[in-house]
Amino acid sequence: MNIIFLGPPGVGKGTQSRRLSECLGVPIVASGDMFREVRQTDSSLAREIRGYMDRGEYVPDGLTIKMVLNRLQQPDAMVGFILDGFPRTVPQAEALDEKLETDGRRIDHVILLEAPQNVILERLLGRWICSNCGRIYNRGSSSPQAPDTCAHCGAPLVRRTDEDPEVQRYRLEVFQRETAPMVEYYQSQGRLERVNAARPVDEVSAGIKQIVDGAVPA
């Protein structure tokens, strides 16, 4: 099954992608994670990507499309994939559709996670990630019991470099400006399925599961 998760920064795409990936046994293709890997290298490309990400801007379409479409050609993604954070612009969505059509594949579900901005900002303020396996945690005021280390692998939790509150707000603005037309692209084709992501994690997962299960042939 091939699924796209859309939604603003901090709405819970990474959290839900991980849960659904474990349930369906398909890989997550997360453009943000891929860029975070590249930016750790010592190259001019890494420096360029660091600049875009730390300012909260999108990486240019050409580079992003090439990187993600190449990843979708890997053998593990042939059985299915969950796209987290890609596409984000109309050219990215069109390039994805074209490539999948050429390959005789298609997207089964385009799922938009939605939550009010105050909920999102609260989540972003409390987000910590595992420095080793990338698992996502929240250590905000609503989760005082959250651990200092990863419950899965024991590594320390760290903050992302784009978690500065000013950058977070800017990333939300960029999402509205750049990604709203792409949401309309899927909406106008009757392909968009919306999930209220302002609810607790388990309830959001249940909403997503309903959508995904609805497509499983009897």
Q: Which residues are catalytic?
A: 13, 88, 127, 160, 171
Query: Does residue 58 interact with ligand AP5 by CB under 6 A?
Result: yes
CB 93, min distance to ligand AP5, A: 10
165-174 vs 44-55: helix crossing angle, rounded to 10: 90
- Site residues for ligand AP5, 78-107, by CB under 6 A, read 85-86, 88, 92
Separation of alpha carbons 50 and 28, rounded Å? 22
Cβ contact 211:21 at 8 Å: no
Quickly tell me which residue has 């479409």 as its tokens: 69
- Site residues for ligand AP5, 108-147, by CB under 6 A, read 123, 126-127, 136-138
Extract the tokens encoding 173. Answer: 């603005």
Q: Which residue is nearest to ligand AP5 (CB)?
A: 32
Separation of alpha carbons 130 and 150, rounded Å? 6
Q: Kindly tell me which residue out of 2, 4, 6, 9 binds ligand AP5, with binding defined by CB under 6 A.
A: 9
- Only segment of 20-28, 31-39, 149-157, 210-218 that touches ligand AP5 (CB under 6 A): 31-39
List of residues 6+ apart from 71 with CB closer than 8 A: 29, 34, 77
Query: Does residue 201 interact with ligand AP5 by CB under 6 A?
Result: yes
Extract the tokens encoding 158. Answer: 């760290």
CB 162, min distance to ligand AP5, A: 6
Cβ contact 76:27 at 8 Å: yes
Q: Kindly tell me which residue out of 3, 39, 56, 77 binds ligand AP5, with binding defined by CB under 6 A.
A: 56
Query: Does residue 207 interact with ligand AP5 by CB under 6 A?
Result: no
Q: Kindly tell me which residue out of 171, 182, 193, 195 binds ligand AP5, with binding defined by CB under 6 A.
A: 171
